[in-house]
Amino acid sequence: IEVTLIDNQAQRVPSTFKGPIHPSTSDLGALLLGRSSSGLKGIIVVPGVIDADYTGVVDIVVYTLHPPLCIPQGSRIAQLIPMRNLVSAMTQEPTPPRPFRGNSGFGSTRPAACLTLNMHDRPVREVIVKYAGETRIIKNLLDTGADMTIVN
């Protein structure tokens, strides 16, 4: 359907995709993200998680900063990135059964799961720094996520 965003409030837009993400895999959900071309058109897609057992039409939540904006029928504004449920593979105990998602969207079926990583397990290497005739050996954390590292 054609949708016109008349203000900057979030609005649900039905997609042409109906769950489940993969019929034979019970732990394969998806992350819904906007396509790069959507942003260039002024359409902001709110990211969302699609549960593995969701069977309804996937709605896309969108808004714009510059209304009015028309989204023509058949526009490709979002994409689904398949993702396995990694939390269930990490737990030692069986997870309690949760209610079947079915076609009820936009809600949670269980408490939030948070994943943390021990920072001591990140790769540390000895680095030799030579400058102005001096040599220093320091232990440095690799893969800090920064574009540069400053050594004092």
Q: Which domains does the chain have, with CATH numbers?
A: 3-90 (2.70.40.10)
Count the residues in the chain.
152
Task: Please report, in tens digits, the pLDDT of each residue of the chain (152 residues total).
Answer: 899 999 999 999 999 998 888 777 667 888 999 999 999 999 999 999 888 888 899 999 999 999 999 999 999 999 999 887 766 655 555 555 555 555 666 665 555 555 555 656 566 778 888 888 999 888 877 666 666 666 66
As a whole number of angstroms, the distance between CA 138 and CA 12 comes to 53
Catalytic-residue membership of 7? no
Which one of 27, 121, 143, 147 is the catalytic residue? 143
Strands 57-63 and 69-71: unpaired
